[in-house]
Amino acid sequence: MLFGKHVNKFYIKYGLFFLIGIAALIVVDYVQLIIPKITGDIISGLKNETLTSVILKDFMIQLIYIAIIIVVGRFLWRIFIFGTSRRIDFELRNMMFSHAEKLSQQYYQTKKSGGLMALFTNDLNAVRMAFGPGIMMTFDVLALGSLGFYKMYMLSPQITYFAGIPLILIAILATYISKITGKKFKAKQKAFEDMSDFTQENFYGISVIKAFVNETRELKAFAKINKDNQDKNVSFIKASTLMGVSIEMFITLIRILMIGVGGYLVYKAMIVSGDKPFDVGDLTAYIGYFGALIWPMMAIGRLINMRSQANASLQRISAFLDQPIEIHDDALPISVEDIEGKITFNHLTFAYPGSKKPELEDINFVIETGETIGIIGRTGSGKTTLVDLLLRLYNLKTNEILIDDYDIMKLPIKQLRDAIGYVPQDNFIFSDIIRNNISFALDEADSDMIERMAKYSDVHENIIDFPDQYDTMVGERGVTLSGGQKQRISIARALLKNPKILIMDDSFSAVDTKTEEEILHNIFNLREGKTTIIIAHRISTIRKSDKIVFIENGKVKAIGNHEYLMSTSKEYAEMVLRQQLESELEGAISHA
Give residue-wise pLDDT tens across range 46-92.
777 777 888 888 888 988 999 999 999 999 999 999 999 999 999 99
Find the mean pLDDT for residues 421-427.
85
Find the mean pLDDT for residues 539-562.
88
The reported pTM is 0.73
Q: Give how far Cα 67 sits from Cα of 29, 41, 75, 567, Å.
A: 12, 18, 12, 96
Least confident window among 98-102, 268-272, 516-520, 529-533? 268-272
Count CB atoms within 10 A of the CB of residue 185: 25
- Euclidean distance between the first and the last CA atom of the chain, given in angstroms as a whole number: 77
Distance from C-alpha of 483 to C-alpha of 365, rounded to nearest angstrom: 33
Helices (H), 103-156: 105-110, 113-118, 124-129, 135-155
Looking at residue 149, its pLDDT comes to 79
Reading phi first (left if > 0) and then psi (alpha if -120 to 50, else beta), residue 379 is in beta
Distance from C-alpha of 50 to C-alpha of 31, rounded to nearest angstrom: 25
Looking at residue 258, its pLDDT comes to 72
Least confident window among 148-157, 326-335, 382-391, 461-470? 148-157
**Would you say how long the chain is, in residues?**
592
In this structure, what are the phi and psi dihedrals at residue 572, rounded to the nearest 5 degrees?
A: -65, -45
Looking at residue 592, its pLDDT comes to 52
Q: Is residue 334 within 8 Å of residue 410, measured between CB atoms?
A: yes
Distance from C-alpha of 278 to C-alpha of 268, rounded to nearest angstrom: 9
Distance from C-alpha of 450 to C-alpha of 446, rounded to nearest angstrom: 6
Partners of 502 in the β-ladder: 421, 532
Checking if the pLDDT of 272 tops 50, the result is: no
Find the mean pLDDT for residues 96-107.
84
* Delimiting residues of CATH 3.40.50.300 domain(s) in the chain: 339-419+501-517+530-581, 424-498
Distance from C-alpha of 14 to C-alpha of 529, rounded to nearest angstrom: 55
- To 5 degrees, how large is the angle CA 115–CA 117–CA 118? 65
Q: Which residues contact 343 (CB under 8 A, 6 or more apart)?
A: 366, 367, 390, 401, 402, 403, 501, 531
Checking if the pLDDT of 263 tops 90, the result is: no
Which of the listed CATH numbers 3.40.190.10, 3.40.50.720, 3.40.50.10790, 3.40.50.300 matches domain 424-498?
3.40.50.300
Q: 434: pLDDT confidence band, cut at 50, 70 and 90? A: confident
Reading phi first (left if > 0) and then psi (alpha if -120 to 50, else beta), residue 475 is in left
Checking if the pLDDT of 273 tops 60, the result is: no
Distance from C-alpha of 291 to C-alpha of 48, rounded to nearest angstrom: 25
Checking if the pLDDT of 196 tops 50, the result is: yes
CA 52, distance to chain mean position in Å, is 64
Sheet with 406-407, side-by-side order of all strands: 360-367, 343-350, 401-403, 406-407
Q: What is the pLDDT of residues 91-101, one digit of tens each?
A: 999 999 888 88
Q: Is residue 503 within 8 Å of residue 423, measured between CB atoms?
A: yes
Distance from C-alpha of 96 to C-alpha of 109, rounded to nearest angstrom: 18
Exposure string of 297-313, with b = 16+ CB inside 10 Å and e = fewer, is bbbbbbbbbbbbbbbbb
Q: Which residue, among 287, 286, 276, has the nearest Cα to 48 in the 3D structure?
A: 276
Checking if the pLDDT of 588 tops 60, the result is: no
Find the mean pLDDT for residues 263-290.
66
The mean predicted confidence, pLDDT, of the chain is: 83
CA 239, distance to chain mean position in Å, is 28
In this structure, what are the phi and psi dihedrals at residue 373, rounded to the nearest 5 degrees?
A: -115, 130
Distance from C-alpha of 479 to C-alpha of 473, rounded to nearest angstrom: 10
Q: Residue 47 is which amino acid?
A: K
Q: 532: pLDDT confidence band, cut at 50, 70 and 90? A: very high
- Provide the CATH topology of domain 339-419+501-517+530-581: Rossmann fold (3.40.50)
Check if CATH label 1.20.1560.10 holds for domain 8-321: yes
DSSP, collapsed to helix, strand or coil, labels residue 148 as helix
Q: Which residue, among 429, 339, 425, 344, has the nearest Cα to 385 in the 3D structure?
A: 425
* Delimiting residues of CATH 1.20.1560.10 domain(s) in the chain: 8-321
Least confident window among 253-262, 448-457, 512-521? 253-262
Distance from C-alpha of 7 to C-alpha of 314, rounded to nearest angstrom: 9
Distance from C-alpha of 331 to C-alpha of 322, rounded to nearest angstrom: 20
